[in-house]
Amino acid sequence: MLTSTLQAPFALSVQDAAFYQEHGWVTTPTVLDNALIDEALAGLDQHWTGHRDRVLPGAGKHFADWMPGDGEGTRNNEYLSLQNRKVSRLAWSPTVGAIAAAAADTSEIRLFDDQIVNKPGGQTNAVVGWHVDGDYRGTCSSKNMLTAWIPLHDCPEETGPLVVLDGSHRWSHKVDRSILSFHSTDMDLLLRHVEGLGLEFKPVTISLQRGQFSLHHCLAIHGSYANRSDRSRVALAVHLQDGANQYQPATKPDGRPVQLYNDMICAKNAAGEPDYSDASVFPTLWNTERERC
Ligand SMILES: O=C(O)CCC(=O)C(=O)O
Ligand SMILES: [Fe+2]
């Protein structure tokens, strides 16, 4: 029998946590309630009809917020759990937090941000380009952050589920950043580049059933191919910070400072820097000391 690393409703085995550390990704059994997933889908519908439980200024300008009428391609709704209570119940689930804490070997897991990624069926241009989540979080001190990828329905191969390059969290720093982007549509360029570096390009398709989710390391390269089925592929990506993460100043290649959207809306510490433990923007999903939050 496998031993658990946490006294949580659904914990990750020690072996699975070690697998995550080695490969940069892991999948869970069916641990999320159907009702919670239905509620998140209802929350997305509410959002698309204009409902907001909390209004975040600058939607669509400072962060992606696809709305009906915005046209074809991948539909990206960022910071949805802060705006919609139904979505937050799934995104901030202690089950997700406890499993992420075990994988990352940390006592606390807080939200960093989240996004619903919806790829309509049959649109061959709707892909998610190869990228590394950590590249979008330059102001985070931690290299132990991770993402929970939660499909909101069964996600077999033809729906274009998440694809992670096995072990890439250990070598992604060698890859030319200019060819990595969530918004890129060229899925073949990276293969040639990685092989040219003498590294192994080993894509793992994360086909999951509803109720399962996967975790990937903040330095793991991942993306997703087109949805070839005739229905939408909807997934909630919950980007998580470990307890130790805090703000660090960062600059863009052109020398300008990096400012994330959540930097703009969260509390500031005594030095005037963003406080990545402000519970109104970064709620705690799990804290081993406090058990369930
Ligand atoms: O849903 C997808 O295809 C991509 C999601 C993603 O980039 C992530 O979970 O970090
Ligand atoms: Fe990502």
Ligand 1 atom closest to 161 (CA): 3
8 pLDDT band (50/70/90 cuts)?
Answer: low
**Ligand showing the shortest atom-to-Cα distance for residue 236:** 1
Residue 277 covered by a domain: no
Q: Whose CA is nearest to atom 6 of ligand 1?
A: 237
Whole-prediction pTM: 0.95
Give the Cα separation of 184 and 178 in Å (integer): 10
Compute the distance from residue 254 Cα to the ligand 2 centre, in Å. Answer: 23
Which of 5, 1, 9 minimizes the C-alpha distance to 30?
9
The 3-class secondary structure across the chain, one letter per residue, is CCCECCCCCCCCEHHHHHHHHHHCEEECCCCCCHHHHHHHHHHHHHHHCCCCCCCCCCECCCECECCCCCCCCCEEEECHHHHCHHHHHHHCCHHHHHHHHHHHCCCEEEEEEEEEEEECCCCCCCCEEEEEHHHHCCCECCCCCEEEEEECCCECHHHCCEEEECCHHHCHHHCCHHHCCCCCCCCCHHHHHHHHCCCCCCEEECCECECECEEEECCCEEEECCCCCCCCEEEEEEEEEECCCCECCCECCCCCECCCHHHHHCCECCCCCECCCCCCCCCEEEECCCEEC
Q: Whose CA is nearest to atom 7 of ligand 1?
A: 223
Ligand 1 pocket test, candidate residues 27, 78, 119, 147, most atoms within 8 A of CB: 147
Residue 291 covered by a domain: no
pLDDT for res 11: 77
Take residue 65 and report the two structure tokens written for it: 């917020």
Q: Are 29 and 212 in contact (CB under 8 A)?
A: yes
- Express each pLDDT in 230-239 by its tens digit: 999 999 999 9
Q: Are 90 and 39 in contact (CB under 8 A)?
A: yes
Decide the pairing of beta strands 203-205 and 221-224. unpaired
pLDDT over 50 (residue 5)? no
Q: Whose CA is nearest to atom 5 of ligand 1?
A: 237
Backbone angles phi, psi at 241, to 5 degrees: -115, 140
**Ligand showing the shortest atom-to-Cα distance for residue 147:** 1
Give the Cα separation of 281 and 113 in Å (integer): 8
Residue 46 covered by a domain: yes
- Express each pLDDT in 237-263 by its tens digit: 999 999 999 999 999 989 999 999 999
Distances (CA, A) of 251 to 247, 261, 276: 13, 15, 18
Q: What angle do CA 148, 154, 157 make, to 5 degrees?
A: 90
Residue 7 covered by a domain: no
Ligand 1 atom closest to 119 (CA): 3
Q: Can you give the residue range of the structural domain that contains 25?
A: 14-245
- Percentage of the chain exceeding pLDDT 70: 96
Which of 115, 97, 90, 137 minimizes the C-alpha distance to 245?
137
pLDDT for res 289: 80
- Express each pLDDT in 141-155 by its tens digit: 999 999 999 999 999
Residue 253 covered by a domain: no
**Ligand showing the shortest atom-to-Cα distance for residue 160:** 1
Q: Looking at residue 237, which CATH number applies to its domain?
A: 2.60.120.620
- Express each pLDDT in 37-52 by its tens digit: 999 999 999 999 999 9
Ligand 1 pocket test, candidate residues 113, 127, 128, 158, most atoms within 8 A of CB: 128
pLDDT for res 125: 83
Compute the distance from residue 99 Cα to the ligand 1 centre, in Å. Answer: 18
Compute the distance from residue 244 Cα to the ligand 1 centre, in Å. Answer: 24
Residues with CB under 6 A from ligand 1: 117, 128, 133, 147, 149, 162, 222, 224, 235, 237
Which of 112, 87, 85, 82 minimizes the C-alpha distance to 97?
112
Q: Summarize the confidence of residues 27-42 as an average pLDDT.
A: 97
4 pLDDT band (50/70/90 cuts)?
Answer: very low
pLDDT for res 1: 37
pLDDT over 80 (residue 6)? no
- For the chain, give the mean pLDDT: 94
Residue 85 covered by a domain: yes
* All residues at 6 or more sequence positions from 35 whose CB lies less than 8 Å from its CB, including other chains: none
Compute the distance from residue 163 Cα to the ligand 2 centre, in Å. Answer: 10
Take residue 262 and report the two structure tokens written for it: 């959540």
- Express each pLDDT in 168-215 by its tens digit: 999 999 999 999 999 998 889 999 999 999 999 999 999 999 999 999
pLDDT over 80 (residue 80)? yes
Compute the distance from residue 222 Cα to the ligand 2 centre, in Å. Answer: 6
Ligand 1 pocket test, candidate residues 74, 76, 113, 224, most atoms within 8 A of CB: 224
Q: Whose CA is nearest to atom 8 of ligand 1?
A: 237
**How many domains does the chain divide into?**
1
Provide the residue type at 6 as one letter.
L
pLDDT for res 55: 98
Residue 193 covered by a domain: yes
Residue 32 covered by a domain: yes
Q: Are 149 and 237 in contact (CB under 8 A)?
A: yes
